[in-house]
Structure 1
Protein backbone atom coordinates (compact mmCIF):
# COMPACT_ATOMS: atom_id res chain seq x y z
CA UNK A 1 0.00 0.00 0.00
CA UNK A 2 1.40 3.41 -0.92
CA UNK A 3 1.72 6.31 1.49
CA UNK A 4 -1.07 8.15 -0.34
CA UNK A 5 -3.42 5.20 0.15
CA UNK A 6 -2.49 4.95 3.85
CA UNK A 7 -3.03 8.69 4.30
CA UNK A 8 -6.38 8.50 2.52
CA UNK A 9 -7.49 5.59 4.74
CA UNK A 10 -6.38 7.48 7.85
CA UNK A 11 -8.30 10.60 6.81
CA UNK A 12 -11.38 8.50 6.03
CA UNK A 13 -11.17 6.88 9.49
CA UNK A 14 -10.80 10.29 11.15
CA UNK A 15 -13.90 11.55 9.34
CA UNK A 16 -15.84 8.49 10.51
CA UNK A 17 -14.59 8.98 14.07
CA UNK A 18 -15.76 12.60 13.94
CA UNK A 19 -19.20 11.36 12.87
CA UNK A 20 -19.26 8.99 15.85
CA UNK A 21 -18.21 11.76 18.24
CA UNK A 22 -20.79 14.15 16.79
CA UNK A 23 -23.47 11.48 17.16
CA UNK A 24 -22.56 11.02 20.83
CA UNK A 25 -22.72 14.79 21.35
CA UNK A 26 -26.17 14.95 19.70
CA UNK A 27 -27.72 11.76 21.06
CA UNK A 28 -26.13 11.58 24.53
CA UNK A 29 -29.56 11.00 26.12
CA UNK A 30 -30.11 7.88 24.01
CA UNK A 31 -28.83 4.43 24.96
CA UNK A 32 -25.64 4.25 22.88
CA UNK A 33 -23.19 1.38 22.88
CA UNK A 34 -19.99 0.85 20.96
CA UNK A 35 -21.51 -1.86 18.76
CA UNK A 36 -24.32 0.46 17.59
CA UNK A 37 -21.92 3.37 17.05
CA UNK A 38 -19.56 1.11 15.08
CA UNK A 39 -22.37 -0.27 12.93
CA UNK A 40 -23.35 3.30 12.03
CA UNK A 41 -19.94 3.87 10.43
CA UNK A 42 -19.41 0.31 9.14
CA UNK A 43 -16.56 -0.59 11.51
CA UNK A 44 -16.16 -3.38 13.99
CA UNK A 45 -16.65 -2.41 17.64
CA UNK A 46 -13.03 -3.27 18.47
CA UNK A 47 -11.62 -1.25 15.59
CA UNK A 48 -13.80 1.73 16.47
CA UNK A 49 -12.71 1.60 20.12
CA UNK A 50 -9.01 1.39 19.23
CA UNK A 51 -9.20 4.14 16.60
CA UNK A 52 -11.32 6.43 18.79
CA UNK A 53 -8.93 6.09 21.71
CA UNK A 54 -5.92 6.72 19.47
CA UNK A 55 -7.55 9.83 17.99
CA UNK A 56 -9.15 11.34 21.10
CA UNK A 57 -7.19 9.85 24.01
CA UNK A 58 -10.16 8.13 25.65
CA UNK A 59 -12.58 5.34 24.89
CA UNK A 60 -15.97 6.05 23.29
CA UNK A 61 -17.69 5.09 26.56
CA UNK A 62 -15.50 7.47 28.57
CA UNK A 63 -16.14 10.28 26.09
CA UNK A 64 -19.90 9.71 26.23
CA UNK A 65 -19.95 9.61 30.03
CA UNK A 66 -17.93 12.83 30.25
CA UNK A 67 -20.43 14.59 27.96
CA UNK A 68 -23.31 13.27 30.06
CA UNK A 69 -21.68 14.47 33.30
CA UNK A 70 -21.05 17.93 31.83
CA UNK A 71 -24.73 18.22 30.95
CA UNK A 72 -25.73 16.82 34.34
CA UNK A 73 -23.68 19.55 36.04
CA UNK A 74 -25.74 22.16 34.23
CA UNK A 75 -29.04 20.52 35.18
CA UNK A 76 -27.96 20.11 38.81
CA UNK A 77 -26.96 23.79 39.00
CA UNK A 78 -30.49 24.74 37.92
CA UNK A 79 -31.73 22.96 41.04
CA UNK A 80 -35.23 22.07 39.83
CA UNK A 81 -34.54 18.35 39.25
CA UNK A 82 -33.56 15.61 41.67
CA UNK A 83 -30.33 13.70 41.17
CA UNK A 84 -32.32 10.69 39.95
CA UNK A 85 -34.21 12.82 37.42
CA UNK A 86 -30.95 14.31 36.17
CA UNK A 87 -29.40 10.85 35.91
CA UNK A 88 -32.15 9.65 33.58
CA UNK A 89 -32.41 12.98 31.74
CA UNK A 90 -28.79 12.72 30.56
CA UNK A 91 -29.20 9.14 29.36
CA UNK A 92 -27.76 7.12 32.23
CA UNK A 93 -29.70 4.01 33.19
CA UNK A 94 -27.96 3.35 36.51
CA UNK A 95 -27.99 5.86 39.35
CA UNK A 96 -25.02 4.10 40.95
CA UNK A 97 -22.86 4.28 37.82
CA UNK A 98 -23.91 7.89 37.25
CA UNK A 99 -23.04 8.89 40.84
CA UNK A 100 -19.71 7.06 40.75
CA UNK A 101 -18.65 8.59 37.42
CA UNK A 102 -19.89 12.06 38.48
CA UNK A 103 -17.82 11.87 41.67
CA UNK A 104 -14.73 10.71 39.72
CA UNK A 105 -14.94 13.58 37.25
CA UNK A 106 -16.25 16.43 39.40
CA UNK A 107 -14.77 15.54 42.78
CA UNK A 108 -18.01 15.53 44.78
CA UNK A 109 -21.17 13.39 44.59
CA UNK A 110 -24.05 14.82 42.52
CA UNK A 111 -26.21 15.38 45.62
CA UNK A 112 -23.48 17.52 47.22
CA UNK A 113 -22.96 19.38 43.95
CA UNK A 114 -26.69 20.07 43.63
CA UNK A 115 -27.13 21.26 47.23
CA UNK A 116 -24.05 23.50 47.43
CA UNK A 117 -24.57 26.71 45.43
CA UNK A 118 -20.87 27.54 45.79
CA UNK A 119 -19.84 24.50 43.75
CA UNK A 120 -21.64 25.79 40.67
CA UNK A 121 -19.66 29.01 40.72
CA UNK A 122 -16.27 27.74 41.94
CA UNK A 123 -15.93 24.61 39.84
CA UNK A 124 -12.98 26.13 37.99
CA UNK A 125 -9.46 25.00 38.80
CA UNK A 126 -6.53 27.48 39.01
CA UNK A 127 -5.81 27.06 35.30
CA UNK A 128 -9.33 28.30 34.52
CA UNK A 129 -10.76 24.96 33.38
CA UNK A 130 -14.00 23.42 34.67
CA UNK A 131 -13.21 20.60 37.09
CA UNK A 132 -14.58 17.83 34.86
CA UNK A 133 -12.43 19.01 31.93
CA UNK A 134 -9.33 19.53 34.09
CA UNK A 135 -9.73 15.98 35.37
CA UNK A 136 -9.79 14.67 31.80
CA UNK A 137 -6.82 16.76 30.70
CA UNK A 138 -4.64 15.91 33.68
CA UNK A 139 -5.53 12.20 33.76
CA UNK A 140 -2.53 10.00 32.96
CA UNK A 141 -2.63 8.60 29.44
CA UNK A 142 -2.64 4.83 29.52
CA UNK A 143 -2.57 4.38 25.77
CA UNK A 144 1.07 4.79 24.82
CA UNK A 145 0.15 4.74 21.13
CA UNK A 146 -1.84 7.97 21.59
CA UNK A 147 1.20 9.79 22.96
CA UNK A 148 3.50 11.62 20.54
CA UNK A 149 6.92 10.00 20.11
CA UNK A 150 9.57 11.26 22.49
CA UNK A 151 12.68 12.81 20.96
CA UNK A 152 15.81 10.73 21.15
CA UNK A 153 18.05 12.41 23.72
CA UNK A 154 21.10 10.25 23.09
Structure 2
Protein backbone atom coordinates (compact mmCIF):
# COMPACT_ATOMS: atom_id res chain seq x y z
CA UNK A 1 0.00 0.00 0.00
CA UNK A 2 1.50 3.28 -1.11
CA UNK A 3 0.75 6.20 1.20
CA UNK A 4 1.45 9.86 0.92
CA UNK A 5 3.79 11.09 3.66
CA UNK A 6 1.10 13.29 5.21
CA UNK A 7 -1.34 10.35 5.47
CA UNK A 8 1.37 8.24 7.10
CA UNK A 9 2.06 11.06 9.59
CA UNK A 10 -1.67 11.21 10.39
CA UNK A 11 -1.78 7.46 10.98
CA UNK A 12 1.25 7.64 13.27
CA UNK A 13 -0.38 10.46 15.21
CA UNK A 14 -3.54 8.35 15.48
CA UNK A 15 -1.49 5.41 16.75
CA UNK A 16 -0.04 7.62 19.49
CA UNK A 17 -3.53 8.81 20.46
CA UNK A 18 -4.81 5.25 20.59
CA UNK A 19 -1.92 4.05 22.76
CA UNK A 20 -2.63 6.65 25.45
CA UNK A 21 -4.01 4.80 28.44
CA UNK A 22 -6.15 6.57 30.97
CA UNK A 23 -9.43 8.29 31.49
CA UNK A 24 -11.13 10.17 28.70
CA UNK A 25 -9.77 8.11 25.86
CA UNK A 26 -11.05 9.13 22.47
CA UNK A 27 -13.12 6.61 20.54
CA UNK A 28 -11.84 5.24 17.23
CA UNK A 29 -14.28 7.53 15.42
CA UNK A 30 -13.01 10.57 17.31
CA UNK A 31 -9.39 9.66 16.54
CA UNK A 32 -10.28 9.23 12.86
CA UNK A 33 -11.93 12.67 12.83
CA UNK A 34 -8.92 14.17 14.62
CA UNK A 35 -6.60 13.00 11.85
CA UNK A 36 -9.06 13.92 9.09
CA UNK A 37 -9.95 10.48 7.71
CA UNK A 38 -13.36 8.81 7.59
CA UNK A 39 -13.72 6.15 10.29
CA UNK A 40 -13.97 3.06 8.07
CA UNK A 41 -11.25 4.19 5.69
CA UNK A 42 -9.11 4.98 8.74
CA UNK A 43 -9.60 1.45 10.16
CA UNK A 44 -8.67 -0.16 6.81
CA UNK A 45 -5.59 2.02 6.31
CA UNK A 46 -4.50 1.63 9.93
CA UNK A 47 -4.67 -2.17 9.76
CA UNK A 48 -2.82 -2.23 6.44
CA UNK A 49 0.01 -0.08 7.81
CA UNK A 50 0.36 -1.37 11.38
CA UNK A 51 -0.94 -4.94 11.05
CA UNK A 52 -3.62 -4.51 13.72
CA UNK A 53 -6.91 -2.69 13.98
CA UNK A 54 -7.09 0.42 16.16
CA UNK A 55 -9.09 -1.54 18.74
CA UNK A 56 -6.50 -4.34 18.86
CA UNK A 57 -3.71 -1.81 19.28
CA UNK A 58 -5.58 -0.09 22.13
CA UNK A 59 -6.18 -3.41 23.92
CA UNK A 60 -2.50 -4.30 23.50
CA UNK A 61 -1.45 -0.93 25.00
CA UNK A 62 -3.86 -1.32 27.93
CA UNK A 63 -2.65 -4.83 28.73
CA UNK A 64 0.98 -3.72 28.48
CA UNK A 65 0.34 -0.97 31.01
CA UNK A 66 -1.56 -3.43 33.21
CA UNK A 67 1.41 -5.84 33.15
CA UNK A 68 3.76 -3.04 34.21
CA UNK A 69 1.45 -1.94 37.04
CA UNK A 70 0.97 -5.51 38.25
CA UNK A 71 4.72 -6.12 38.14
CA UNK A 72 5.33 -3.05 40.28
CA UNK A 73 3.06 -4.66 42.88
CA UNK A 74 1.88 -1.40 44.45
CA UNK A 75 -1.75 -1.66 43.34
CA UNK A 76 -4.41 -4.35 43.76
CA UNK A 77 -5.81 -5.95 40.60
CA UNK A 78 -9.08 -4.00 40.83
CA UNK A 79 -7.27 -0.66 40.83
CA UNK A 80 -5.08 -1.76 37.93
CA UNK A 81 -8.22 -2.74 36.01
CA UNK A 82 -9.74 0.70 36.48
CA UNK A 83 -6.45 2.49 35.89
CA UNK A 84 -5.99 1.00 32.42
CA UNK A 85 -9.53 1.82 31.31
CA UNK A 86 -11.58 -1.32 31.91
CA UNK A 87 -14.88 -0.92 33.73
CA UNK A 88 -15.40 -4.61 34.54
CA UNK A 89 -12.95 -6.68 36.55
CA UNK A 90 -14.37 -9.87 35.05
CA UNK A 91 -13.83 -8.82 31.45
CA UNK A 92 -10.36 -7.48 32.29
CA UNK A 93 -9.35 -10.75 34.02
CA UNK A 94 -10.73 -12.90 31.20
CA UNK A 95 -8.97 -10.86 28.52
CA UNK A 96 -5.74 -10.73 30.52
CA UNK A 97 -5.78 -14.51 30.96
CA UNK A 98 -6.51 -15.09 27.26
CA UNK A 99 -3.68 -12.82 26.12
CA UNK A 100 -1.05 -13.35 28.83
CA UNK A 101 -1.81 -16.94 29.85
CA UNK A 102 -2.42 -16.40 33.58
CA UNK A 103 -4.86 -14.38 35.64
CA UNK A 104 -3.79 -10.89 36.74
CA UNK A 105 -3.49 -11.93 40.40
CA UNK A 106 -1.38 -14.99 39.49
CA UNK A 107 0.80 -12.79 37.28
CA UNK A 108 1.33 -10.35 40.14
CA UNK A 109 2.12 -13.15 42.64
CA UNK A 110 4.58 -14.77 40.24
CA UNK A 111 6.43 -11.52 39.65
CA UNK A 112 6.58 -10.72 43.35
CA UNK A 113 8.57 -13.91 43.78
CA UNK A 114 10.95 -13.01 40.96
CA UNK A 115 11.56 -9.37 41.82
CA UNK A 116 13.31 -8.96 45.14
CA UNK A 117 13.94 -5.49 46.48
CA UNK A 118 17.41 -5.42 48.05
CA UNK A 119 17.59 -4.22 51.64
CA UNK A 120 18.88 -0.70 51.97
CA UNK A 121 22.47 -0.35 53.08
CA UNK A 122 23.70 2.52 55.17
CA UNK A 123 25.40 5.21 53.16
CA UNK A 124 29.14 5.27 53.72
CA UNK A 125 30.59 8.72 54.47
CA UNK A 126 33.81 7.67 52.69
CA UNK A 127 34.18 8.03 48.93
CA UNK A 128 33.98 4.76 47.02
CA UNK A 129 37.41 5.13 45.41
CA UNK A 130 39.04 5.41 48.84
CA UNK A 131 37.18 2.34 50.03
CA UNK A 132 38.49 0.39 47.04
CA UNK A 133 42.04 1.62 47.63
CA UNK A 134 41.83 0.57 51.27
CA UNK A 135 41.30 -3.03 50.16
CA UNK A 136 44.50 -3.12 48.09
CA UNK A 137 47.59 -4.80 49.49
CA UNK A 138 50.14 -2.45 51.10
CA UNK A 139 52.88 -1.19 48.81
CA UNK A 140 50.75 -1.29 45.65
CA UNK A 141 51.25 2.42 45.07
CA UNK A 142 54.19 4.60 46.08
CA UNK A 143 52.17 7.83 46.36
CA UNK A 144 48.67 9.20 46.09
CA UNK A 145 49.19 10.45 42.51
CA UNK A 146 50.13 6.94 41.36
CA UNK A 147 46.96 5.56 42.91
The answer to whether the superposition gives a TM-score over 0.5 is: yes
Matches within 5 A, 1:117-128: 117=111
More helix by share: 1
Which structure 2 segments of 5+ residues have no match?
A: 116-147
In the TM superposition, what is the alpha-carbon distance from 1:88 to its structure 2 partner? 1.0
Q: TM-score, normalised by structure 1?
A: 0.65
Q: TM-score, normalised by structure 2?
A: 0.68
C-alpha RMSD over aligned residues: 2.2
In the TM superposition, what is the alpha-carbon distance from 1:119 to its structure 2 partner? 7.9
In the TM superposition, what is the alpha-carbon distance from 1:28 to its structure 2 partner? 1.6
In the TM superposition, what is the alpha-carbon distance from 1:102 to its structure 2 partner? 1.4
In the TM superposition, what is the alpha-carbon distance from 1:120 to its structure 2 partner? 6.1
Which structure 1 segments of 5+ residues have no match?
A: 1-5, 122-154
3-state DSSP of counterpart to 1:80: coil
**Which structure carries more relative contact order (alpha carbon 8 Å, separation 6+)?**
1
3-state DSSP of counterpart to 2:4: helix
3-state DSSP of counterpart to 1:18: helix
Distance change >3 Å, CA 94–CA 13, structure 1 → 2: farther
| 1:13 matched to 2:3 | no
Aligned to 1:143: none
1:84-138 CA-to-partner distances (Å, cap 9, x unmatched) read 10011112223233222211221111111112237867xxxxxxxxxxxxxxxxx
Matches within 5 A, 1:5-154: 10-25=4-19, 27-30=20-23, 31-117=25-111
Q: Is the 8 A contact 1:77 1:120 kept in 2?
A: no
